[in-house]
Structure 1
Amino acid sequence: MLTPALCLVVQGAKWTMFGDRRFDYRAGQALVVSVEIPSLSQIVAASPGEPYLAVAIVFDLTTMREVLESLDTPPKVDGDVCQGVFVIDIGSQLAACVLRMIRLLDTPQAIGALYPLLMRELCYWLLTGPHGSDIAKMTVASSHTQRVISAVHNLRERFAEPVRVEELATSARLSPSAFHRQFKALTSMTPLQYQKQFRLLEARRLMLSSAMNAETASYKVGYESPSQFSREYSRMFGLAPGRDVAAFRSQVA
């Protein structure tokens, strides 16, 4: 479950799936995520000699909003919902800023004083970059994007309950058809796909962290039929629940 963040690859390569969309990114690129969203990922370029290296920086949306308001020429924020996920090339200014962030780990006593300044710099380069408009829409409370994001949060918090799309559309002040279209533009999946993937990821977490069996986990996340849960779990993860959990534990044992 990814949160709004900049996921920058330093070495190697990776792909991440959101619904039916796949994003490939490698060293010198970053995945930008603007909304909490379920995903599947796989590292595709790594070796003992050159391991996969990456850094994920969670966005501070309050700082992002402050920087946006301070710009002399802020990016245009139109009525369309933003791209919820996209890949960017890392320019030299952004790379230097991230490197300074990482180097703060060597001097923990300086993090409190300097990290907020570096976060402001990071927000500046993102807002003034090629995807500045999409970044800005994350912070503008009156935008369609923010209303759809609020509906996403509502769906996430009530993921185990039956939720009607019409109800979510009303909360976003959109017609059902417009809400469905903008939700998919933001998350790369429909509301029902989002709920299903969230349920399956949560069930997997429960089985791995709490030793919960598949049937109990399926009821816990909102399924009424364990057999339906097993079928959908197998389609998402490639193995039936019990076999998947056993395989994961054997790898980390």
Structure 2
Amino acid sequence: MEELAAAILRFADSQTGLSPYITPIRTMAVMRTDHPKPPAHLLMQPALCIVAQGAKWASFGDRQLAYKAGQALVVGVETPSVGRVVEASPGKPCLVLAVELDLAVMRSVADDMRSPPVPRQEPALGVFVTDFQGPLSDCALRLMRLLDTPEAIPTLYPVIMREICYWLLSGPHGSEIARMTLGRGPSQRLLDAVHALRDRFRETLRVAELAAIAQMSQTVFHRHFKTLTSLTPLQYQKRLRLLDARRLMITSGMNAESASVAVGYESPSQFSREYTRMFGTPPKRDAMSVAVFENQ
């Protein structure tokens, strides 16, 4: 971890602007934080978030997961989250390497394994924390070193990522990784319903339609969806709408009413109430404060 932290810090110090820093590997980013930060809302993608120094937590619905140096947050399903840096200082910043997980590569590696892990059958949260030591830590360090030779990235990056997938699948959480990524059976049908909601979150979708995609009764679907994401389908959709509305106001300069209509709200007052409840500040004031912060 010390070598990995040094490599991340060296790269971060060479960058301009604010963290996170996009690397020459487009599916990999580096984060450096010198102070504990307030909670931040985001939409998590399937990824590894490796902490080389410092500590963070991430919450998914009513579940909160803490992870620190030597650990990684493994995200297997696209889901709204709230994250926070809790341990950082100018002398010892929080250093994180985030690597996108390609689920197709994960499935390919599993197919090549002599004894692939057996997916867990019982539903579980699609996110977990694992120790990131030994071979996995070595892979992360090699990814950072690869940034020094950009011409080697197209050849070597896929090889290192396959190795990461192998160690994850063969490790102590292999059955959990397999359940989230191998794309077979009920788990895949549930993920298909999650993806349908993600792609059509601006529309009015009935739970019955999503349950039909998952080939489950509405009661079973509702229970399994919440187990996987720690949110009900309605909560999941609502958070996607509010996150997208915030993005539209900050990046496109939309006013609150236009943004609310764009993401599927019929009532601006309901949008304002739910936005304030989620972000702690009314839409217009929140968008202005974020814009001021980013321009400082």
TM-score (norm 2): 0.82
Letter of the 2:46 counterpart: P
User: 1:49 — aligned with what?
Assistant: 91
What SS does structure 2 have at the residue aligned with 1:47?
A: coil
Q: Aligned AA for 1:5?
A: A
Alignment pair present for 1:185 and 2:223? no
State the 1:81 CA deviation.
Answer: 3.3
1:210 corresponds to which residue? 252
- CA shift digits 1:152-197 (9 cap, x unpaired): 1100111111110111000111111111111111111111010000
Please list, as runs of the form range in 1=range in 2, the aligned pairs for 1:22-33 lying within 5 A after superposition.
22-33=64-75
User: Could you say which residue in structure 2 is the equivalent of 1:96?
Assistant: 138
Q: Which moved more, 1:153-162 or 1:81-90?
A: 81-90
SS in 2 for 1:95: helix
Question: Which amino acid is the alignment partner of residue 62 of structure 2?
Answer: D
Residue 232 of structure 1 and its aligned partner are, at CA, apart by 0.8
Deviations 1:120-169 (A, max 9, x none): 11011100111101111233333222111111110011111111011100
- The residue type paired with residue 229 of structure 1 is F
CA contact (8 A) 1:80 1:145 kept: no
| Contact 1:137-1:143 within 8 A present in 2 as well | no
The whole-number CA distance in structure 2 between the counterparts of 1:26 and 1:14 is 6
Matches within 5 A, 1:188-199: 188-199=230-241
Paired position in structure 2 for 1:38: 80
Tell me whether 1:227 sits opposite 2:260 in the alignment: no
Equivalent position SS for 2:50: strand
Contact 2:119–2:177 (Cα < 8 Å) also in 1: no
1:48-99 CA-partner distances (Å, limit 9, x unpaired): 2222211111112222112112222221224333530111111211101111
1:22 maps to a residue whose letter is Q
Contact 2:51–2:69 (Cα < 8 Å) also in 1: yes
* 1:31 alignment partner, SS class: strand
- 1:168 maps to 210
Q: Percent identity?
A: 57
Alignment partners' CA distance in 2, 1:125 and 1:111: 21
Number of aligned residue pairs: give it.
253
State the AA in 1 paired with 2:116: P
How does the TM-score come out when normalised to structure 1?
Answer: 0.96
Deviation readout 1:184-233 (Å, 9 max, x if unpaired): 11111111010000000000000000011111111111111111111111
> Which stretch shifts more, 120-129 or 9-18?
9-18
Which SS does the other structure have where 2:147 is aligned? Answer: helix
Matched letter for residue 27 of structure 1: A
The yes-or-no answer on 1:13 pairing with 2:55 is yes
Partner of 1:140: 182
- Provide the secondary structure at the position in 2 that maps to 1:48: coil
The one-letter code of the counterpart of 2:272 is S
Letter in 2 for 1:83: L
> Is 1:63 paired with 2:105?
yes
Cα deviation code 1:97-123 (max 9, x no counterpart)? 111011111101111111111111101
Aligned partner of residue 59 in structure 2, secondary structure: strand
The worse-fitting range, judged by mean Cα deviation, of 168-177 and 82-91 is 82-91
Superposed structure 1 runs of 4+ greater than 4 Å apart:
none
> Counterpart amino acid of 2:161?
M
d(CA) in 1 for partners of 2:182, 2:168: 15
Question: Structure 1: 5+ residue runs without aligned partners?
Answer: none
Secondary structure at the aligned position of 1:110 is classed as helix
Q: Does 1:86 align with 2:131?
A: no
- Whether contact under 8 Å (1:160, 1:199) holds in the other structure is yes
Contact conserved, 2:120 with 2:176, CA < 8 A, in 1?
Answer: no
Gaps of 5+ in 2: 1-42
- Residue 116 of structure 1 aligns with which residue? 158
Conserved in 1, the CA contact under 8 Å of 2:76 and 2:181?
Answer: no
